[in-house]
């Protein structure tokens, strides 16, 4: 899917305080199937931008078009359906549900989808190297294994856009590299568009395009 942002602004208004402008007139276009890196210092507005492009948060002004459609015209319930069907997120922290097993955690996004067979889900867990952990709870896994499961969960329903917000920020170098490769492999396999937030210039170089953001502006 193609994503286009036009004149995006985000600001927070607090009583008895000046407004805080987080995003300032952002314009960008990401072509369908493109992998882009969003790079910039902490506090630059990367996560805020990703939340808006991923329809999790609304801008103060401006538009986001996904395949030409302005979804911010719709209510939150509608946005939820679009996210569930077309968008996958991987965050710095895995947000797996502690009371569910690995297999249950990755089945949650697809439990209504009768076409997706248990065997297919297990094939993807196998590819991610965590099939032997399917009956375990998240707390029984290493940080790297937890993040592998989070990647599988984000990609299980074949999303057309993936947002990965510092997906390896919490892991050591080697483990982080393995997660990155897993993410790139699966995203390439399914031909999705990817927006990857990172501090890591080497990782950013693996994408098709680097977008730099500083103090809420694209350079
Ligand atoms: N709810 C909020 N109210 C006020 N300021 C916020 C809020 N959420 C985020 N911010 C501020 O927005 C700025 C950008 O945050 P963020 O998008 O998380 O940056 P990044 O992901 O690049 O580190 C930060 O200065 C942060 O403090
Ligand atoms: Mg962030």
User: Could you report how far apart the first and last alpha carbons of the chain are, in Å?
Assistant: 24
- Residues 6+ away with beta carbon under 8 Å from 24: 9, 215, 216, 217
Paired strand residues for 69: 66
CB 105 within 8 A of CB 162: no
- State the distance from the centre of ligand 2 to the C-alpha of 46, rounded, in angstroms: 5
Q: Is the CB of 192 under 6 A from ligand 1?
A: no
Ligand 1, atom nearest to 51 Cα: 17
Q: Please choose from 12, 41, 48, 217 the residue to mutate so as to test ligand 1's pocket, defined by most ligand atoms within 8 A of CB.
A: 48
pTM: 0.92
CATH number at residue 46: 3.40.50.300
Q: Judging by beta carbons within 10 Å of its beta carbon (0-12, 13-18, 19+), is residue 104 exposed, middle or buried? A: middle
* Per-residue pLDDT tens listing for the chain (219 residues): 999 999 999 999 888 888 899 999 999 999 999 999 999 999 999 999 999 999 999 999 999 999 999 999 899 999 999 998 999 999 988 899 999 999 999 998 777 776 677 888 899 999 999 999 999 999 999 999 999 999 999 998 889 999 999 998 888 888 988 898 899 999 999 999 999 998 888 889 999 999 999 999 999
Distance CA 137, CA 211 (A): 37
- State the distance from the centre of ligand 1 to the C-alpha of 43, rounded, in angstroms: 6
Q: What domain range is 104 assigned to?
A: 3-218
């Amino acid at each position: 899917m193609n994503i286009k942002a036009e004149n995006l602004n985000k600001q927070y208004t607090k009583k008895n305080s000046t407004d805080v402008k987080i995003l300032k007139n952002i314009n960008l276009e990401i072509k369908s199937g493109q992998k882009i890196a969003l790079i910039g210092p902490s506090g630059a507005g990367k996560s805020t931008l990703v939340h808006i492009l991923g329809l999790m948060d609304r801008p103060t002004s401006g538009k986001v078009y996904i395949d030409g459609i302005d979804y911010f015209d719709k209510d939150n319930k509608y946005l939820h359906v679009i996210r569930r069907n077309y968008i996958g997120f991987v965050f710095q922290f895995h947000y797996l549900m502690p009371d569910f097993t690995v297999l249950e955690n990755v089945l949650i996004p697809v439990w209504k989808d009768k076409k997706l067979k248990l065997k297919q889900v297990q094939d993807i867990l196998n590819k991610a190297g965590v099939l032997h952990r399917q009956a375990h709870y998240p707390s029984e896994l290493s940080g790297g294994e937890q993040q592998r499961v989070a990647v599988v969960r984000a990609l299980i329903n074949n999303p057309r856009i993936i947002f990965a917000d510092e997906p390896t920020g919490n892991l050591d170098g080697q483990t982080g590299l393995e997660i990155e490769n897993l993410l790139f492999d699966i995203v390439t396999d399914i031909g999705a568009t990817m927006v990857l937030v990172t501090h890591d210039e080497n990782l950013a170089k693996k994408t098709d395009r680097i977008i730099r953001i500083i103090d809420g502006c694209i350079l």
